[in-house]
Amino acid sequence: MKINDMLNKMRQWDNRSNQWFSKNFSVLLFEIVLGVIFVFFIDYMMNIIAISDQVKKASFTEQILLSQAGLTLLVVLLLLFNSFLMLYLFNNILRIRGLLKNLDYNMGRRRNNPRDEDA
């Protein structure tokens, strides 16, 4: 019995450490990468806004290029927000998966333990 209890404790600690590593490091890495991309995007957007003050109103080509740059910035911003949303959903799926693993582990442990029918 003591060996089974020790093995159950080792499995429990392994499961918890695996949850901690997967939760903290994988999602954190994606958050850092998306944050850096977002900072570069904001810098680029500020440069486009600064350039828009210098565009002549009479130059049709410059106005078209500026509007194209603005629309491209809008698409990139939407893609970044979509990436943040996907990261949020991925993080929630990992948490639910961990909770279900814990639940399955604890329910399996209860099922495997012999009950005292005499008591």
For position 48, what pLDDT does the model report? 81
Provide the residue count of the chain: 119
Under 8 Å between Cβ of 69 and 48: yes
Three-state secondary structure of 34-68: HHHHHHHHHHHHHHHHHHHCCCCCCCHHHHHHHHH
Rounded distance between C-alpha atoms, residue 27 and residue 89, angstroms = 11
Picking from 106, 95, 96, the residue whose alpha carbon sits closest to that of residue 12 is 106
Per-residue model confidence as pLDDT tens digits over 56-104: 777 888 888 888 888 888 888 888 888 888 888 887 887 888 788 888 8
pTM attached to this predicted model = 0.54
For position 114, what pLDDT does the model report? 63
